[in-house]
Amino acid sequence: MATLNGWPEARESAVVRIVVGGDANGVTTLDGDVSTAFRWLLEQFHARVEPISEVNGWRSAAFNKQIGGAARSNHISGTAVDVNGARHPFERHHPGKRYSSGFTNAQGRAVRAILKEAGGLFGWGLDFPVGLRDAMHFELANGTTKADVAAFVATLRARKAAPIAATTDEDEDMPTADEIAQAVWSYRNAKLERKDTYALLRRTSANAEAAAHATIDAQGIADAIAAALPEGNLTRADVRRAARLAIQDVLRAQPEEPSTPAEPAPAEKPAPKAKAKAAPKP
């Protein structure tokens, strides 16, 4: 059976679980490039729209029928997710009431910006017909092919491989070093409280400092930090921003090269004493 966007029904063996944000259970989506694309979408949502506390994805055809889902729901193919459903309701579940998406205008603009960056790969349930609007729902857009998803994932990998451009001016939304210290070094996640995030960051900071003494490889440092962090703690964007500031701080903290001491100036000779004038002869 093909789902509404044209993708075939997915068996449980064909889906994979990913964890983004505060939902420790994660979400299951179709394995491969589809999973990578949805991970990016959810990371962007978590970082730029609102923290993710609950997200749901693939469901079997039997379970979908049990909960009253659409007969050909895209969830059955593992190509749709529902994010923070308690905040962003499905209009059909609240008949006769004025519908609210649960998003502020600013959040709505942030979602639109993310979808635009994906080049139309994803559809948003808020754009469904009146009566069926579903603000929690994101899916691969109708007619999207495997080749489309693969091309998008290739652009993500290209962005990751590209070096971080050096600049002396901070971006307008770039946090200050103090903000990084507050937000990153004191970061705790209640669901990962057994993980000593502080120790992990301290260790990767030492690696960053050592690397900075030799050569500044911003992407390498960002990758090292990302690899050391527990899954779901920080987004890739957070890591890149933190690494960039960390590099700048390390460089500022480096002792200046000792300068060659200047030759001492020759001591000034005392001015010759004036000869006493002879007393006038009487």
pLDDT digits (tens, 9 = 90+) for 178-220: 555 555 554 444 444 444 555 556 556 666 555 555 545 555 5
Q: Rounded distance, CA 262 to CA 27, Å?
A: 67
Distance CA 155, CA 234 (A): 21
Dist CA 32 CA 10 (whole Å) = 13
Q: Could you report the per-residue pLDDT of 130-170, keeping only the tens digit for each? A: 999 999 999 999 999 999 999 999 999 998 876 655 444 44
The string over 235-247, giving b where at least 16 C-beta atoms fall within 10 Å of a residue's C-beta and e elsewhere, is bbebbbbbbbbbb
What is the pTM for the complete model shown?
0.60
Nearest to 226 by CA among 267, 262, 254, 184: 184
Check: CB of residue 250 under 8 Å from CB of residue 221: no
Within 10 A of 144 (CB to CB), how many other CB atoms are there? 21
* pLDDT for position 161: 77
Query: Following DSSP, what letter does each residue of 91-137 receive, concatenated?
Result: GGGSTTS----S--HHHHHHHHHHHHHTTT-EEEGGGSPTTS-BTTE
- Residue-wise pLDDT tens digits, 228-273: 555 555 666 666 666 666 666 655 555 544 444 445 545 555 555 5
Q: Is 16 helix (H, G, I), strand (E, B) or coil?
A: strand
Domains and CATH numbers, the chain: 12-159 (3.30.1380), 163-253 (no CATH)
The whole-angstrom separation of Cα 252 and Cα 86 is 46
